[in-house]
Structure 1
Amino acid sequence: MIPEQHFSKDDIRTLPPYPGLALKAVSVVTNEAEMEAAYRQLSVCRVLGFDTESRPTFLKGEVSSGPHLIQLATAGHAYLFPVERLGDLARLRDILESPAIRKVGFELGSDVQRLKAKLGIECAGLVDIGRLFRQPGDRHTVGAVQAVARLFGQQFRKSKRQSTSNWASPVLSEAQRVYAGNDAYVALQVFHELERLGRADAGLGHAGSGNKKPG
């Protein structure tokens, strides 16, 4: 049974911090050799945490040119793929388009739309985790912060400064790498807990269609 209690922002601030991945467990993939090494690790997984990041838009009517970063996470490591720096995305495309590998994340609608529009990638095997929490009549949107609070009784800290930082930068800061890696990693950890609770099969293949909030 998934805990139904909705935590307010004030409630969440009182919870102990969620540990997440350290910087050393986050790799930025920037060349062919690193892509092959990442592919060997990712392609054998049954489930991967998944997210993307796009440089924010600030002007009215401005269209996002993202995604600029794609994140995939295993149980102990996150891989970041800066789209603008990688020429050949064939290996990454194979993983994202494989129906045999589940890609799990929160509010994936805009991620999927941008991947298709910019890179022609048709994602398959997606699970939008927020749908797994939804109860009849539930008006609350369950994102990563709320999910971690409900399932683990911990606070997953999301930095507004990092979420709105320049994800198209040729060099990502340490803070950006930790933030992006943990977005994908936390999704995987939440999914595994939902599996333990017997609720992970619902929602397979549904990526959602709403716009994703920054971060």
Structure 2
Amino acid sequence: MTGMPPPLPEREQIALLEVFEGLGLQQIHVVDTPQKAEQAMAALLASGVVGFDTESKPTFAKFEVSGGPHVLQFATRDAAWLFQLHRSEFHDVLANLLASIELVKVGFGLSSDLSLIRQRFGVEPQAVFDIDTEFRRRGYRKSVGVKTAVALVFDRRFVKSRKATTSNWAHKQLSDAQLRYAANDAYAAIRVYEAMGLTPPAR
């Protein structure tokens, strides 16, 4: 019998921790030229495993449909690439990354992201690893999000701006705060994945 896993940190405990150092703006690339799309594809495929997440314009009315995702982000240990979905010229690159079994995409609570991707792209994402399932395997009953995971694994506080969370992700020009927010969601996922000693599932 294995022992119980360490307790998850409470919100009050997390608030006292030092801030988790994320990627800076100079490490965040918005894919807006064919050249950047090629660079993104090459760098991401070369890394083999990347952090992954999506952002969608929030809905406020009861029956309003999201129309998302509006941004898809991938991160390595050194950089992040953001794809804005209004740029249809890069959809082929995105579809290739999503469908690639050579590129493991890791993140938190990805089921709603994946269903939106299926609706929007008609692509079935492959080689996706939800870190939350690993926490469940290790004995945690509650869902573990990125903030809790970063606190548990790194003893650091992952800062998420409420303003950025509810901002308009369908904007053609994303703000610096949005760029940091989106990139670091994906970046934290790859860092937690590596720190937990996880490896890509056997193909």
For residue 113 of structure 1, what is the aligned residue in structure 2?
115
- 2:45 and 2:102 in contact (8 A); partners too: no
Residue of structure 2 equivalent to 1:80: 82
Q: Which residue of 2 aligns with 1:33?
A: 35
> How far apart are the structure 2 equivalents of 1:57 and 1:32?
31
Q: Hey, what's the Cα distance between the residues in 2 that align with 1:6 and 1:88?
A: 40
Matches within 5 A, 1:41-52: 41-52=43-54
Q: Any idea what SS the aligned residue of 1:37 has? A: helix
Determine if contact 1:98/1:125 at 8 Å carries over to the other structure.
yes
Matched, 1:178 2:143: no
Q: Displacement, 1:54?
A: 0.2
1:18 and 1:155 in contact (8 A); partners too: yes
Q: Which residue of 2 aligns with 1:14?
A: 16
1:192 alignment partner in structure 2: 194
| CA distance in structure 2 between the aligned counterparts of 1:20 and 1:51, rounded to whole angstroms | 15
Residue 89 of structure 1 aligns to a residue whose secondary structure is helix
Contact 2:5-2:138 at 8 Å conserved across structures: no
Report the TM-score, using the length of structure 1 for normalisation.
0.88
Tell me the residue number matched to 2:158: 156
Q: Which amino acid aligns with 1:103?
A: K
Q: Distance in 2 between matches of 1:135 and 1:145?
A: 19
Question: Does the 8 A contact of 2:9 with 2:152 survive in 1?
Answer: yes
| Deviations, residues 150-183 of structure 1 (Å, cap 9, x unaligned) | 0110000111110110000010000000010000
1:120-164 deviation per Cα after TM superposition (whole angstroms, max 9, x unaligned): 121000100011111577432101000011011000011111011
Partner of residue 64, structure 1: 66
User: Structure 2: how far apart are the matches of 1:3 and 1:129?
Assistant: 16
**Paired residues of 1:70 and 1:83 also in contact (CA < 8 A):** yes
- Give 1 or 2: higher helix fraction: 2
1:169 maps to 2:181: no
CA apart distance, 1:31: 2.3
CA displacement 1:78-120 (0-9 Å, x = unmatched)? 0000011232311221111111211000000011101110111
Cα distance in structure 2, aligned partners of 1:105 and 1:160: 20
SS in 1 for 2:18: coil
**Amino acid in the other structure paired with 1:178:** R
Kindly provide the amino acid, as one letter, of the partner of residue 91 in structure 2. L
Alignment-mate amino acid for residue 26 of structure 1:
I
Q: What is the alpha-carbon distance in structure 2 between the residues aligned to residue 177 and residue 4 of structure 1?
A: 33
Q: What amino acid is the match of 1:89?
A: H
Q: Which range moved further: 71-80 or 131-140? A: 131-140
By how many angstroms is 1:4 displaced? 2.5
What percentage of residue pairs aligned between the two structures are identical?
40
> Using a 3 Å threshold, how does the CA distance of structure 1 residues 67 and 78 change in structure 2: closer, same or farther?
same
Q: Does 1:55 align with 2:57?
A: yes
| Cα distance, 1:26–1:3 mapped onto 2, change above 3 Å | farther
Compute the RMSD of aligned alpha carbons. Answer: 1.9
Q: Distance in 2 between matches of 1:12 and 1:109?
A: 26
The residue type equivalent to 1:24 in the other structure is Q
- Structure 1 distance, partners of 2:48, 2:106, is 11
Structure 2: segments with no counterpart, 5+ residues: none
- Residue 130 of structure 1 is aligned with which of 129, 132, 149? 132
Aligned residues: 200
Pairwise CA distance, 1:3: 5.4
